[in-house]
Amino acid sequence: MSKLKPGEVIEDFTLYDQNLNEVHLHDLEGKKILLAFHPLAWTRGCAKHMKLLEDNYGKFQAANAVALGISIDSVHSKKAWARELGIEDTLFLADFWPHGKVAKMYGMFNEDMGVSERASIVIDENLKVKLIKVYETRSLPDIEEIFNAMGK
Q: Would 2 be classed as within a structural domain?
A: no
Contact 134, 119 (CB under 8 A): yes
Q: Is residue 145 part of a domain?
A: yes
- Tens digits of residue pLDDT in 106-145: 999 999 999 999 999 999 999 999 999 999 999 999 999 9
Q: Is 126 helix (H, G, I), strand (E, B) or coil?
A: coil
- List the domain range (segments joined by +) for residue 104: 14-150
Question: Is there a domain that residue 21 lies in?
Answer: yes
Residues taking part in catalysis: 46
Contacts of 13 (CB under 8 A, 6+ apart): 24, 25, 101, 102, 105
Number of domains present in the structure of the chain: 1
Please check whether residue 63 lies inside any domain of the structure: yes
CA dist., res. 86 & res. 100, Å (int): 25
Which CATH number fits the domain that encloses residue 52?
3.40.30.10
Q: Is 87 part of a structural domain of the chain?
A: yes
How does strand 32-37 pair with strand 65-71?
parallel
**pTM for the predicted model, two decimal places:** 0.96
Q: Stretch 10-26: mean pLDDT, rounded?
A: 97
